[in-house]
């Protein structure tokens, strides 16, 4: 069965009922399903993704977002531009 270990995330946002956030945590995915969340997890022969400096949101499937537009919407060159002018201003950022 295939495994992926997401290791050393700065924060794992569990999205559980308590909205728990765990610092310095790993996420083990086995067969496409989250098998474990916690520190010091291991995989035998699976892929390892180093997540130091990252926030991991396991189970949160996000196939499309506009995060970068939210973070760059106040850039002066794009504020009053039409759509394609706005996109051309933001893409290099």
Q: Tens-digit pLDDT profile for the chain (93 aa)?
A: 799 999 999 999 987 888 889 999 999 999 989 999 999 999 989 999 999 999 998 877 766 777 777 778 788 888 888 888 888 888 887
* Residues 11 and 33 both lie in one domain: yes
Provide the CATH number for the domain around residue 27.
Answer: 2.30.40.10
Report CA torsion sign: 29, 33, 35, 39: positive
The reply to whether 42 and 73 lie within a common domain is: no
Instruction: Looking at the structure, tell me whether residues 10 and 29 fall in a common domain.
Output: yes
DSSP secondary-structure letter at 20? Answer: -
Q: Are residues 12 and 55 in the same domain?
A: yes
pLDDT of the residue at 9? 97
Is 85 found in the same domain as 43?
Answer: no
Alpha-carbon distance of 75 to 89, in angstroms, equals 8
> What's this model's pTM, rounded to 2 decimal places?
0.65
For residues 35 and 3, state if they share a domain: yes
Domain count across the chain: 2
Whole domain around residue 73: which residue ranges? 63-93
Q: What is the pLDDT of residue 8?
A: 97
């Amino acid at each position: 069965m295939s495994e992926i270990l997401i290791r050393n995330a700065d924060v794992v946002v569990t999205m559980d009922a308590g909205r728990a956030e765990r610092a310095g945590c790993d996420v083990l995915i086995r067969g496409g399903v989250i098998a474990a969340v916690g520190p010091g997890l291991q995989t035998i022969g699976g892929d390892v993704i180093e997540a130091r400096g990252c926030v991991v949101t396991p189970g949160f499937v996000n196939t499309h977002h506009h995060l970068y537009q939210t973070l760059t919407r106040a850039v002066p060159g794009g504020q009053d531009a039409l759509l394609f002018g706005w996109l051309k201003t933001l893409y290099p950022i």
